[in-house]
Amino acid sequence: MSAKVTYLEAISQAIREEMRRDEAVFLLGEDVGTYGGAFKVSAGLLEEFGSERVIDTPMAEAAIIGSAVGAALMGMRPIAEMQYIDFITCGFDQIINMAAKMYWRVGMPVPIVVRGPAGGGTKGGPFHSSTPEAWFFHAPGIKVVYPSTAYDAKGLLKAAIRDNNPVLYLEHKLLYRMPELREELPEEDYVVPIGKAIVRREGEDMTMITYGAMVHQCLQAAQVLEREDDLEVEVLDLRSLTPLDREAISASVKHTNKVLIVHEDALTGGVGAELSALIAEDLFEYLDGPITRVAAPDAPFPYAPALEAAYLPNAAKILSAARELAAY
């Protein structure tokens, strides 16, 4: 084992190690070279790999992703960084109509990773706080992953870079330097398989299904429920949204019989809606209560710190919903 690293450092390690392992891997994006990235994820990469493999681009997300698609079609494995994931909307056409559909159109794989910081809690306002996984969760042809720990951040990114499909890799900026997430990572090479969930906490009274930063809010709530309500809550971290680990979801629901789904994205049309449908269609007979969701309201992300605190799901809101479900 090596020294403990942060979530951010784990991402940086994955990029560096994959660039050393495979000369086809390169990084492009705004300020990824000389500046080392807005959050310093790519610090030091330019010095090691040079400007042909660590490419500073204009502020043009459509061009960044479009260039990555073209490079992938020519045999490269680009990592396209969005400085903030909110601006991935500028490259939506390149992802949905080019990257995601190319294999089905002409039989050519597009092994690109589009990655960037997502999520709120940093007082970034409406243009620097979104978590847009639901837009891409709906799109066939692209994989979506959202790690919650340093171990998974590194292992999932390595898996994404090696995957022959386009992968959207979401990294929650609130987790980047969170001290509690520092951990020792294996010195040997490893990957975390895409499409495999993990049980973060075992329980028998209720399942919380979640991902990303909300994993830690759910774990906090679960600890309180055990201490104050004598409830054993299982926390299932999806890790990958596309493809979903249906087997893990099914096993947990059958075990606990009550489900609380938590995500930071807006409620309507979110990942939780599809999970609710999946569980209602396939596992209805195992349920002892209504499928419950905790998510952000259907409103743009606010600027004011007080409004941001009210807007975001948190352990207190999860706790309230869980107690209501437990009493059903």
Q: What positions carry a catalytic annotation?
A: 128
* Rounded distance between C-alpha atoms, residue 169 and residue 159, angstroms: 10
Three-state secondary-structure class, residue 54: strand
Q: Are 208 and 319 in contact (CB under 8 A)?
A: no
* Rounded distance between C-alpha atoms, residue 158 and residue 189, angstroms: 9
Three-state secondary-structure class, residue 24: coil
State both tokens at 226: 């055990």
For residue 28, list its beta bridge partners.
55, 80
Roughly how many angstroms between the first and final C-alpha of the chain, as a whole number?
A: 46
Chain center to CA of 319: 23
* Rounded distance between C-alpha atoms, residue 72 and residue 64, angstroms: 12
115 backbone dihedrals φ, ψ, rounded to 5°: -135, 160
State both tokens at 281: 């269609």
> Alpha helices of 50-176 — where are they, by DSSP H?
61-73, 92-93, 102-106, 133-137, 150-162
114 backbone dihedrals φ, ψ, rounded to 5°: -105, 120
Cis bond before residue 243 (omega within 30° of 0): yes
State both tokens at 44: 């030091």
Three-state secondary-structure class, residue 261: strand
* Rounded distance between C-alpha atoms, residue 219 and residue 237, angstroms: 10
